[in-house]
Homo-oligomer: A and B are copies of this chain.
Amino acid sequence: MKNLTIPAASEMTLTAVCAALGDPVRMKIARCLARSGEKNCSGFEVGHLSKSTLSHHIKILRESGLIQPRIQGKEHFYSLRKEELDRRFPGLVAMLLAEET
């Protein structure tokens, strides 16, 4: 089994979270998950990217503590860790949900 690194709420750092969200691809994924609950890789509303690149971005989001996987068979469903984020960084999820003007 894989060793999935997911920091506890108290171990997340604002710098790592910001670095994760500072890339436009990852911001799109995070916003997509904030709105839609749970999705697998093919459901992220990001333009064409190779699957290895997408996997790389997902890893950074996961290691920052923003998202968590639920592995079901061969599919990996990802979701935003809303409870942990609300506890550690109040307001962040709302920012992701806010309209981009």
Contact = CB atoms under 8 A, between A and B. Distances in A.
Interface in A53-92: 89-92
B10 A27 contact: no
A92 B23 CA distance: 18
Chain A, interface SS category: helix
Given A19-B23, A22-B15, A27-B18, A90 B94 contact: yes
Q: For the side of the interface on A, what is the size category?
A: 20 to 34
A8 to B, nearest CB: 11
B24 A21 contact: no
Contacts of A10: 101
A23 B22 CA distance: 10
21 contacts: A10-B101, A13-B100, A14-B21, A14-B27, A14-B95, A14-B96, A14-B98, A15-B22, A15-B23, A18-B19, A18-B20, A18-B21, A18-B27, A21-B22, A22-B22, A89-B91, A89-B95, A90-B91, A90-B95, A91-B95, A92-B95
